[in-house]
Structure 1
Amino acid sequence: MEDARPWYKQPELRKLYLMMPFLFMGSTTLGYDGSLLNGLQTMPSWQAFFDYPTGSRLGLLGAFPGFGGLFVLLFTPYIADLMGRRLGTAIGCVLVILGAVLQALPSRSNPIPMYLAGRWLMGMGSNISNATCPLLITEISHPRHRGKVTTIYNTLWYVGAILAAWTTYGTLNNISSDLSWRLPTGLQCAMPGIQLLSIYLLPESPRWLISKNKHSDAKKMLTKYHGNGADNDFVNWEYNEISLTLEAENAASAESGWYELVRTPGNRKRCLLIILTAIFSQCSGNGLVSYYLAAVLKTIGITDSSEQALINGGLTIWCWLVSLGCAFLVDRVGRRILFLSAGIGMLISFTIWTACSAVYTQTGNSNAGSAVLAMIFLFYGAAGIAWPGLTVSYTVEILPFNIRAKGLTLCFVFTSLSGIFNQYVNPIGIDALGWKFYIVYVVVLVLECLAIYFLYVETKGPTLEEIAILFDGEDANVAGADMGLDHKGNVKVVKTGSL
């Protein structure tokens, strides 16, 4: 029988979850880099060093990690599936460290090439690490906690953003030389460095081990952490469901490679949801503030560098608190409701934000400017209900093991493409159109709400293997039980099978 005690009262499971923060650092590293450019733009020393970049030139500096990330994405599923989740994470960490060093040490005479090279490597390393960390988290978590733990992973993006925002705020106010931007840039090495040193303290994915015919190692992992050292019925059920399901998936996929992503109707629906999730996570208006807060604040009259940095720091803390709190609701209220609540909340607040920006631009009314700032906080509070927490967790849990790494790569391809669009086009749009550019995102948010309502599938309840039934129905490759869907579309066990 399964141990019914809370996780913190189970010694081995508690040990596993206390090591999880080392994996969460993959998301934290990404958040640090994402927010760092925001903070650097508030620094006169950084602006002067790079000759006050604006428009397309600033967009290029922001978008370059996306180019590096796109370049490496073709290889990430093979790194994850052939080398393992842990080694893939270690490779990503090494590249991020190299990228951070290059960004922190460009010469004054010709800084752009070295800085862009560092940004490129940063994008490569971040995408490799973020293509393997969520897989490992999902695949080693206890079935009862999978949703919460995986969702928490991407909310830790904001912890990195908080560290970057307040580090740049501190150096801005206390250091006047180039060290004020070189120091926070170089500190990007810290988190991947810690993760690199600690990654092998965690177990390898039992699903990956079984896929490589290392059945005894997989059974040992499940027995130790999910059974607290006891080879009980629950561990045997979990092991058999995983191994038999992987066997069925492999037989069904028949060496179809990347084509497997679209071979069946269920997989085509998965791909559609993954692509929509990736695009919505980046192109819902959140990219305006995530990367170019200083430019947005200037449109409402907030031009003081210290004040901009302070707002950036406060916003990152607010976003993290909301997203972390909502991560604990995924198994209580469900994924689809969180997605829809976020979409509607973002649409309302962004529409008001746009209207108030128009009033401020045309009249200079200070109250309208203050309202824009309030709407920015409300908008990001609404976004935190589902984004970024569910972006990765929803993607990995709707995918069967045989295409999980490839499907997550598909998510990152469209995340990177959307990010490049955001980071390159947004500063150009703001410069050219001001508040009128925001109307584009109002339209996107309307389409987003409609897509979530009509297309998204609720995945609350089933195990990682059993979710396949929601997409593939009777054709699902799930072993261990005869299952179906009830009248509400939820997975139900019809008759327990023999293991």
Structure 2
Amino acid sequence: MFIWGNARGAALRVLISIASSSAFLLFGYDQGVFAGLIGGDGFKDTFNNPDTTTIGTVTAIYEIGCFFGAIFSFWAGNRLGRKNSIWLGLFIMMVGTVLQTSAYSLGHMIVGRIVTGVGNGINTSTVPMYQAETTKARSRGRMISIEGWFITIGIVISYWITYATSKHSNPDIQFRTPIVLQAVFGLVTMVMLIGLPESPRFLMAKDRREEALEVLAYLDDEPIDSPNVQRQFKAISDALASEANSASGGKIQFKDYFAGGKKQTFRRLCLAYGIQMMQQLTGINAVIFYSAYLLQNVLNIERELSLIIGGCTGLTFFVFTFIPILFIDSWGRRKPLIYGAAGQSLCMMFIAVLVKLSAVDGNDAAGVAAVIFVIIYIATYSGFAWVATPWLYPTEISELKFRSQATALATSANWLWNFVVVKITPLGVESLGWKFFLIWMCFNGVFVPIIYFLYPETAGKTLEELDSLFYTTTKAWQITEKGSRVGMEGEAAGPGSVTDEEDVKENIQMRE
């Protein structure tokens, strides 16, 4: 097995994290770059001053490509494996980048956006799963939060590169240079993947047991016959054996997706889908994609200043998304999501009121305050882990048999609702004005009880322990402690109670 520098243990996990983060940096860059281009002279001159509806279509069609990429992963992810899926996604993104860079008509640009989206849909379905399956339970949240942080780094880079090229006299330089730079991040990730291992859980699922054992040993920097490596190997084996002994055997049938009872497969798929849908309905991409557009057309701020403010919002993302990296594995998942949604709801309320005072009543001070609350909203969204947790959560709650499908389904939800949000934002702003922000206020407010009553805590547990957790209770609010589990009678055990081999065996046996 070829590994860069023969890295083992923490060094190898760091390399995996760098590669995963590079893929998400590309994701963030691709998300943010169009926000600064659509209002520029280079874009308008090349594409004959497209109207608002057309701008919304060209921008949002990317999400449709991402949606189909996620659906492709639902079908092919378990066949290709984690690494091959990421390679395929990156290659497709490179093709899409070439198509966008060479576009001189809206039809050509739309095709390029769709193709790039397909590749990104595959990657965003696969990368968090690959990271989760190769990291330790105690740091799983941190590692995927780092990926989320790199999304914001990509957004920041895209904003400032767009600003740097916006003054160039050549319209091609203005908008083609930021687009073509996507290829740099994709190539870095492709090269890094060459010297990284496949997911041991995927290898086990494909009965490549010796390879899986070797990868587990590499990831823990221990001999193959060490108790820790053997214990992990046995836990994964037992989980797979339990799935193979289910009513439909090891092969997934359509009815299996709707299984209830102790398996709770359908419930878990709904939770995975829901968390990604909620991420989009916070309204975050209405702000990211159209930050410059909103500032110009709602608050009547001149284009150059709107680009600078857009860059500052990107920097806010960059700074505050770092916070969950430090605390998410101690905070858990539930509390940050609940507090974040509540704070985001309040921010949207204040933004709506202040935009009304500024745009309708002509109060300049209110316009400044509206910009401040946009920044506070982004700080709340990123600081309370809404960037990373929706990408992490589906990988945690899904059983190995359905993990590829669950993460693909969740990712398809992200991109479908992303499309809806990005498509309606220009029309919503034009038609509703300040009232448009009240929609996001209501959504964020509703998410607080949804998360409290439906979403269990997943921090501090191995993926196999989380699999068995769903066999014990359907009451999410009873599973709120990091590293805790609920016993057979529904009473919560203490933190860290599922840690040794006997407990793992007991949990696996509960399935049978």
Q: Does the 8 Å contact 1:45/1:181 carry over to 2?
A: yes
Q: Does the 8 Å contact 1:69/1:416 carry over to 2?
A: yes
Tell me which residue corresponds to 1:123: 117
Tell me which residue corresponds to 1:268: 266
1:47 positional shift: 2.0
Across the aligned residues of Structure 1 and Structure 2, the Cα RMSD in angstroms comes to 2.2
- C-alpha distance in 2 between matches for 1:495 and 1:435: 55
Where does the alignment leave 5 or more consecutive residues of structure 2 unmatched?
1-6, 475-484, 506-512
Aligned length: 481
1:229 positional shift: 4.2
Distance 1:175 1:28, change over 3 A: farther
Q: Does the 8 Å contact 2:332/2:457 carry over to 1?
A: yes
Matching of residue 73 in structure 1 with residue 67 in structure 2: no
1:405 positional shift: 0.7
- Equivalent in 92, 102, 107 of residue 89 of structure 2: 92
Distance 1:224 1:72, change over 3 A: closer
Tell me which residue corresponds to 1:379: 377
Residues 36-71 of structure 1: CA deviation (Å, up to 9, x unaligned): 111102422112222233332111011111222223
1:112 positional shift: 0.8
Pairs within 5 Å for 1:74-473: 74-107=71-104, 111-229=105-223, 231-252=225-246, 254=249, 255-265=251-261, 266-384=264-382, 385-473=384-472
1:228 positional shift: 3.7
1:135 positional shift: 1.4
Distance 1:414 1:19, change over 3 A: closer
Deviates more, 1:309-318 or 1:220-229: 220-229
Q: Does the 8 Å contact 2:126/2:407 carry over to 1?
A: no
Distance 1:16 1:244, change over 3 A: same
Residues 366-386 of structure 1: CA deviation (Å, up to 9, x unaligned): 110001000000001111112
- C-alpha distance in 1 between matches for 2:348 and 2:443: 11
- C-alpha distance in 2 between matches for 1:95 and 1:29: 13
Deviates more, 1:264-273 or 1:124-133: 264-273
Where does the alignment leave 5 or more consecutive residues of structure 1 unmatched?
1-9, 476-481
TM-score, normalized by length of structure 2? Answer: 0.89
- Aligned AA (2:465): E
Residues 286-336 of structure 1: CA deviation (Å, up to 9, x unaligned): 122111112211245343222121111121121122122113312111100
Residues 359-408 of structure 1: CA deviation (Å, up to 9, x unaligned): 11222111100010000000011111122210110111111111011111
- C-alpha distance in 1 between matches for 2:355 and 2:492: 43
- Aligned AA (1:327): I
- C-alpha distance in 1 between matches for 2:296 and 2:185: 32
Tell me which residue corresponds to 2:481: none
Distance 1:308 1:250, change over 3 A: farther
Q: Does the 8 Å contact 1:483/1:495 carry over to 2?
A: no
Q: Does the 8 Å contact 2:399/2:467 carry over to 1?
A: yes
- C-alpha distance in 2 between matches for 1:194 and 1:369: 41
- C-alpha distance in 2 between matches for 1:235 and 1:38: 47
- C-alpha distance in 1 between matches for 2:292 and 2:395: 34
- C-alpha distance in 2 between matches for 1:489 and 1:424: 46
- C-alpha distance in 2 between matches for 1:81 and 1:273: 21
Identity %: 23
1:208 positional shift: 0.6
Deviates more, 1:388-397 or 1:40-49: 40-49
Deviates more, 1:236-245 or 1:298-307: 298-307
- C-alpha distance in 2 between matches for 1:174 and 1:277: 42
Distance 1:412 1:493, change over 3 A: closer
Distance 1:269 1:410, change over 3 A: same
- Aligned AA (1:484): G
Q: Does the 8 Å contact 1:261/1:407 carry over to 2?
A: no
Tell me which residue corresponds to 2:61: 64
Residues 196-230 of structure 1: CA deviation (Å, up to 9, x unaligned): 12212111000111111111111111112213446
Deviates more, 1:185-194 or 1:151-160: 151-160
Distance 1:442 1:494, change over 3 A: closer
Tell me which residue corresponds to 2:43: 46
Q: Does the 8 Å contact 2:137/2:460 carry over to 1?
A: no
1:418 positional shift: 0.5
Tell me which residue corresponds to 1:29: 26
- Aligned AA (2:303): S
